Chains A and B, each alone.
Chain A
Amino acid sequence: MEGNIAILGYGLSAIGPGIGVGLIFAAYINGVARQPEARGMLQTIAFLGFALTEALAIFGLALSFVFR
């Protein structure tokens, strides 16, 4: 076996954000289903939260390229 252990690190770093993004959009869908007229406001919050959460996974990706 040859390869780069940093890839595993990226895989690990993607777990948390994966769950987090899922939670955010679950809450967003829930909110829109309950109150469709609040969609605009919820969309803003949901995507800001999504961007922030996904940042962790993206940092993992970046670092997996740096540490080789």
Chain B
Amino acid sequence: MSLGMLAAAGGGEGFEAPGQDIFWWPLFGTSGAFAVTRPALVLVISAVVIAVVLTLATRRLTVVPGKGQMLTEAGYGLVRNSIAREIIGSHDFLRFVPLLFTYFTLILLNNLFGVIPFFQYPTMGRIAFPLVLALVVFVIYHFLGIKRRGLGGYLASLIPPGLPGWIKPFVFFLELITYFITRPVTLALRLFGNMFAGHILLVLFITGGEYMLLHSHSLGLQILSIPTFGMGVVMTLFEILVEFLQAYIFTLLAALYIAGSLADEH
């Protein structure tokens, strides 16, 4: 375990630091490509919760909003006005608002599930889910670009205008890598990495503190467990911030990539 040495210093022998395996949690079928895993279940629950909450919150909408409606509209307004309209432009942003809103709510709730009791599993800490979400953006922005300019025109539009001729192949190659590899991979991995690392850190502090308190036989370590739990609480608050931020950034970047394919210039 890569984190073993960290924990070995603090917890003595016998403490197994949390590693990547805390994310592998098959529920039905022990292994294999089609095992139904815990994150899959959490994802389904999150989607159902989002659907139900949004349905209830928007059932009786009034011009002067109530409390629940205000909260819903705050989230919706953030996606609609600050992200979609600001970046895609007021001309055709409405087409993409449902997509971006789905991204935002789904990622936000699944991230928050990392700290909500009884779930405590950040779904996006499994690469499969962010990868799927990133692939959807990937397909959409390429589709939009090709539909707008044709395949040749789209590839030609990757090169920024006004460059000297000899540099164009290099820039084209770089842009090709950016558009086809860097963008989807980083979009997926950013979300994954943040959730994965944050969750491991949380689990490390909590299980480490628990081990020090209950399983070590030295008073010093038992006292040390208190700041460890304290750190766990602080990290939980920090995680909540990161979870919001990551949902926002993912949505923002998705909007940016879509806007890039819609814009007239490169």
Q: Verify B190–A7 contact, CB threshold 8 A.
A: no
CB neighbours of A61 from chain B (8 A): 189, 193
CB neighbours of A7 from chain B (8 A): 2
A: which residues have CB within 8 A of B?
1-4, 6-7, 40, 43-44, 47-48, 51-52, 54-55, 58-59, 61-62, 65, 68
How far apart sit A2 and B193, CA to CA, in the bound complex (Å)? 23
Q: Verify A47–B2 contact, CB threshold 8 A.
A: no
Q: Verify B256–A58 contact, CB threshold 8 A.
A: no
Q: Verify B189–A43 contact, CB threshold 8 A.
A: no
A43-B86, A61-B193 known; A54+B4 contact, CB < 8 A:
no
Within 8 A of A (CB), among B217-266: 249, 252-253, 256, 259
How far apart sit A48 and B86, CA to CA, in the bound complex (Å)? 14
CB neighbours of A6 from chain B (8 A): 2
How far apart sit A61 and B259, CA to CA, in the bound complex (Å)? 28
Q: Verify A44–B87 contact, CB threshold 8 A.
A: yes
Q: Verify A55–B186 contact, CB threshold 8 A.
A: yes
Residue of A43, A51, A54 ringed by the most chain B CB atoms within 10 A? A51
Per-residue contact bits, chain B 156-187, to A (CB 8 Å; 1 contact, 0 not) = 00000000000000000000001000110111
CB neighbours of B71 from chain A (8 A): none
